[in-house]
Amino acid sequence: AQSVTQPDIHITVSEGASLELRCNYSYGATPYLFWYVQSPGQGLQLLLKYFSGDTLVQGIKGFEAEFKRSQSSFNLRKPSVHWSDAAEYFCAVGANSGYALNFGKGTSLLVTP
Amino acid sequence: DAGVIQSPRHEVTEMGQEVTLRCKPISGHNSLFWYRQTMMRGLELLIYFNNNVPIDDSGMPEDRFSAKMPNASFSTLKIQPSEPRDSAVYFCASSSLNEQFFGPGTRLTVL
């Protein structure tokens, strides 16, 4: 069965500092991996996705993520955080691009001045 | 395209009442998903359709929940009778080959 773990429930970073959000997955085959962002009262927006190929994936808003099969991880990074990045971030895994997703519990990001 | 459209955006009802949530997927998408989001359980898949056919409804909590997709442009999620523990945000998503697009959600409060 697929599962996703986001170890950090809350993270606080200063504006301009770098960010890394952790995501570990459990899946028997090559997973389809996603990062979504949710602003308060909003739906989910896709930041980036990994299906195959280059393990470093670039997304929108300056985010990137790296797939590490040996560590079953897909961590999200941003070199310099902006106040507008404050939101809830969800990692998700799917068996196929068109199949339903299993989401992690999310990491809430707070950005301080 | 307007994206995935959900209605209503907010619903407040009393326990025992019937609730119907509606979703219009993005035109051309052949898969549709209903998710529920709560603080305790996070985002959970309730059911998904492929080409209007229900594929996996194992996430539907109980018989009080039902979902239909009568055509490619419309789906409903019905709760009858509703209970306070059904209070949550319900998201509809539709997908093309490589990405699920989420609607803004319906915030349901059952008193």
pLDDT digits (tens, 9 = 90+) for B13-63: 999 999 999 999 999 999 999 999 998 889 999 999 999 999 988 889 889
Asked if A42's CB is within 8 angstroms of B43's CB, the reply is no
Of all residues in chain A, the one with the smallest CA distance to B37 is A105
- Whether the CB-CB separation of B50 and A98 falls below 8 Å is answered with yes
Of all residues in chain A, the one with the smallest CA distance to B95 is A98
Beta strand B10-13 with B106-110 is: parallel
Backbone phi, psi, residue A69, to 5°: -65, -40
Which of these ranges, A47-51, B21-25, B73-77, has the smallest mean pLDDT?
Answer: A47-51
Beta strand B106-110 with B88-95 is: antiparallel
Q: What is the pLDDT of residue A2?
A: 77
Mean pLDDT of A90-98: 81
Tell whether the model's pLDDT for residue A98 goes beyond 80.
no
Tell whether the model's pLDDT for residue A96 goes beyond 90.
no
Q: What is the pLDDT of residue B1?
A: 66
- Tell me, rounded to whole angstroms, the distance of Cα A46 from its chain centroid: 9
What is the least distance, in Å, from the CA of A100 to any CA of chain B? 7
- Whether the CB-CB separation of B68 and B7 falls below 8 Å is answered with no
- Tell me, rounded to whole angstroms, the distance of Cα A40 from its chain centroid: 17
* Cβ-based contacts of B44 with chain A (< 8 Å): 103
Asked if B50's CB is within 8 angstroms of A43's CB, the reply is no
Mean pLDDT of A47-63: 93
Number of A/B CB contacts below 8 angstroms equals 47
Residue B46, C-beta contacts closer than 8 angstroms, at least 6 positions apart: B34, B35, B36, B57, B59, B60, B61, B65, B67, B77, B90
Residue B85, C-beta contacts closer than 8 angstroms, at least 6 positions apart: B110
Contact B104/A at CB under 8 A: yes
Tell whether the model's pLDDT for residue A17 goes beyond 90.
yes
Across chain B, mean pLDDT equals: 93
Q: What is the pLDDT of residue B66?
A: 96
Contact B5/A at CB under 8 A: no
Across chain A, mean pLDDT equals: 92
Backbone phi, psi, residue B86, to 5°: -80, -10
* Cβ-based contacts of A46 with chain B (< 8 Å): 99-101
